[in-house]
C-alpha cells in the first residue's frame, strides 16, 4: 500500500479546512483563556472523549453513566467490571496525554507504548504497552494486518514519517497517521483507543482542541477507515475536520458567549424562508459545506452559516438572496 502520496481530491474538503483554520485563529485570539473556564471545558470534553472512544469499541456505558463513574466513583448496575475499568483506564490515559501536549512535540514509540499501557491496565496487563507477537484478524475489515515480525519496523517508519517536515496540513498528517497505525494494528487489543489518543496528541500540540469521533458515527468511521485502506482518505479527513470543527465550535460558543447561535437544524429550518429541509442541511454539515456539529442525535448549525451558504450559491447563479423571516 502506498501511503506517502495523497492523490485524493483536496477540493472536497479544502473549504472546511480553511473554516477550521479560521476558527482555530479565533480561539488563539482569546488566549490567555481564564484557567477556570478552560478547565471546565477541558474536563467536559475529556468525559465525552472517554465515552465516545470506548463506545466505538463496544462499551455500553452511557454518557451520563460514564460521568458518574468518573466524577462520583459509583459502580453502575448492570454494567460489567471491564466496562468500568475501560472508562477509568481511558480517563487516566487522557490525563497523562494532556501532560505530553507541547508545541513542537515529536512523536515517540515510548509515548505510544505508555499510553497503550494505561489504556489496557486493569483489563489486559499481559498485553499492555507491548507490540503483538502473533497475527490478528479484524472482523468486518477489508484487510489483514501485517505480520507481527514487521510491526516494530513499520511503527518506526511511521513515527519517522510523522516527525518529518511536510507541506501537508497537520490535520491531514495526523489523519494519515491515524489510519496507518490502525492498518499496522500493532497491539493485540486497544489499538483504536490508543490511536485516537495519539493522533489527538499531534493535533493538540499544534494548538487544536481534540477531534472526538462520535460513537454514533461508528459505522461511518469504520467505512472511512476501509476507504483509506484502498487509498481514498477523503471520508476520513472529512470526519476528522467535522470532529475538530465541533470541538472548536464548543470552545468558541462558550468563550465568546455565542452558544445560543448553534441550534438544532429543525429550529433553523422553521425560521427561514430558504428552500432547505432538515435532511439537506444535515447533509451539508456532514459534507463540511456549512458549519455545524452533532450533539446526541441532533445536528446543530446557525442561521448565519445557512445564509452564507445560500448567498454563495446565489452568487454562482447570479440570483437574489433569500432572507430570514
* Helix (H) or strand (E) segment spanning residue 293: strand 293-295
185, 254, 278, 310: which is the annotated catalytic residue? 185
Question: Are the C-beta atoms of 116 and 128 separated by less than 8 Å?
Answer: yes
Q: Is 292 helix (H, G, I), strand (E, B) or coil?
A: coil
| φ, ψ for residue 263, nearest 5 deg | -135, 160
Please confirm, yes or no, whether 114 is among the known catalytic residues.
Answer: no
| φ, ψ for residue 299, nearest 5 deg | -90, 135
Instruction: For residues 86 and 186, give the distance between their C-alpha atoms in angstroms, rounded to a whole number.
Output: 19
Question: Are the C-beta atoms of 170 and 67 separated by less than 8 Å?
Answer: no
Q: CB within 8 A of 112, min separation 6: which ones?
A: 155, 159, 186, 194, 198
Instruction: For residues 325 and 43, give the distance between their C-alpha atoms in angstroms, rounded to a whole number.
Output: 39
Instruction: For residues 264 and 193, give the distance between their C-alpha atoms in angstroms, rounded to a whole number.
Output: 29
Instruction: For residues 209 and 270, give the distance between their C-alpha atoms in angstroms, rounded to a whole number.
Output: 32
What's the DSSP call for residue 145?
A: P
Residues known to be catalytic:
185
Amino acid at each position: 500500500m502506498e501511503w506517502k502520496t495523497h492523490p485524493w481530491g483536496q477540493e472536497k474538503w479544502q473549504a472546511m479546512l480553511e473554516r477550521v483554520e479560521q476558527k482555530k485563529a479565533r480561539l488563539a485570539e482569546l488566549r490567555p483563556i481564564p484557567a477556570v473556564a478552560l478547565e471546565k471545558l477541558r474536563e467536559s470534553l475529556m468525559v465525552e472523549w472517554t465515552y465516545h472512544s470506548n463506545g466505538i469499541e463496544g462499551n455500553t456505558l452511557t454518557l451520563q453513566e460514564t460521568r458518574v463513574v468518573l466524577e462520583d466513583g459509583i459502580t453502575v448496575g448492570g454494567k460489567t467490571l471491564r466496562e468500568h475499568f475501560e472508562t477509568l483506564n481511558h480517563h487516566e490515559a487522557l490525563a497523562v496525554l494532556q501532560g505530553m501536549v507541547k508545541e513542537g512535540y515529536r512523536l515517540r514509540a515510548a509515548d505510544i507504548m505508555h499510553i497503550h499501557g494505561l489504556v489496557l491496565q486493569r483489563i489486559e496487563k499481559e498485553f499492555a504497552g507491548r507490540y503483538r507477537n502473533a497475527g490478528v484478524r479484524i472482523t468486518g475489515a477489508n484487510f489483514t494486518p501485517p505480520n507481527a515480525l514487521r510491526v516494530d519496523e513499520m511503527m518506526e517508519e511511521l513515527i519517522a514519517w510523522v516527525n518529518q517536515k511536510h507541506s501537508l496540513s497537520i490535520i491531514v498528517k495526523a489523519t494519515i497517521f491515524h489510519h496507518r497505525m490502525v492498518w499496522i494494528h500493532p497491539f493485540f487489543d486497544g489499538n483504536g483507543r490508543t490511536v485516537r489518543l495519539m493522533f489527538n496528541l499531534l493535533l493538540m500540540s499544534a494548538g487544536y482542541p481534540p477531534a472526538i469521533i462520535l460513537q454514533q458515527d461508528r459505522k461511518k468511521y469504520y467505512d472511512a477507515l476501509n476507504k483509506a485502506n484502498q487509498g481514498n482518505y477523503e471520508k476520513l479527513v472529512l470526519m476528522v475536520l467535522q470532529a475538530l470543527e465541533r470541538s472548536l465550535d464548543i470552545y468558541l460558543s462558550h468563550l465568546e458567549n455565542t452558544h445560543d447561535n448553534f441550534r438544532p437544524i429543525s429550529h433553523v429550518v422553521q425560521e427561514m424562508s430558504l428552500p432547505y429541509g432538515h435532511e439537506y442541511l444535515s447533509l451539508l454539515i456532514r459534507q463540511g459545506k456549512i458549519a455545524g456539529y452533532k450533539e446526541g442525535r441532533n445536528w446543530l448549525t446557525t442561521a448565519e452559516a445557512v445564509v452564507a451558504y445560500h448567498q454563495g450559491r446565489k452568487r454562482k447563479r447570479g440570483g437574489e438572496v433569500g432572507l430570514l423571516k
